[in-house]
Amino acid sequence: MSKNFCRYSATGNTFLIFDNRSGELSDLPRETYASWCKDHQVDGLLFVEPPRGEDFDFHMRYLNADGGEVEMCGNGARAILHFVSRELKVIPRKDSYQFSTQKGVYWGKGSENFPVQMTEIYDWNKFNVSDLFSSSFSYYLNTGVPHTIFEVDFLKEVDLQKIGSEIRYNPRFEKGVNVNFFKVIKPNEVSMRTYERGVEGETLSCGTGATAVALSLAKERGWDSPIKVHVPGGELSISFDCDFEKVYLEGPVDLLERSSLA
């Protein structure tokens, strides 16, 4: 069983990425995956798997830090684009890649800032979440995974662990929800913190969360593209067209380590 991996950071979101085209790392106990995340202090695991159709270059499988598989990870998609284009020599290097996830189809580039087109944008304000936290702006949006969004005046003072956990497990969300708090710096620029389900705590970055915040402000406040989102791990940029048919997430990606599991 090949246990070679690359450890990545995508604006502070950290991952172990494996070449799992052989399938040897599939269907292990959930506790095993969780222990890999804990031992290496990462937010999740990414697996490059065989393409599911002739139109795809590969399949991306993502597991959170608790070992559970979830639908999508924006920063993870950008990290896996680096891995596929720079580290995994068996897949021809291209200007762009098409890949599948648990429920979606995505496109991305193996170039600077590794932009990925966010193709799953739905359930615009499906839930009224204003009762969950006192805020001048609240919103719900699914950007591949579900997100709640709240505007605050004092971002650093938010007790993210306590409040985020309460909202994450609110029974109206069948599979839980991610929780984002943001503060406006100026039009088209915000700071954001995220409580992420599956990690059950704050992460230094959340690409799908940044996308959700940016698009909710574009839709409700008329903000133009692109929108900058500052997260504890760095800066993300979200660009989009007027109909939100083409939405792109981009930001720095760094290879931290090449290693192997013990």
Angle at 106 between CA 101 and CA 108, to 5 degrees: 125
Residues facing 64 on adjacent strands: 44
**Residue showing tokens 């991952």:** 15
Of 6, 37, 206, 242, catalytic = 206
Let me know if 73 is a catalytic residue. Answer: yes
Give the contacts of 43 (CB within 8 A, at least 6 positions apart): 13, 14, 15, 37, 64, 65, 196, 199, 203
Q: Which of 95, 44, 52 is nearest to 71 (CA)?
A: 44
Of 6, 37, 73, 242, catalytic = 73
Query: CA 233 → CA 11, 89, 140, 251, 252, distances in Å?
Result: 5, 29, 23, 11, 10
Does the bond joining 146 to the residue before it have cis omega, within 30 degrees of 0?
no
Helix, strand, coil share (%) of the chain residues, nearest 5:
20, 35, 45
Let me know if 6 is a catalytic residue. Answer: no
What are the catalytic residues?
73, 206
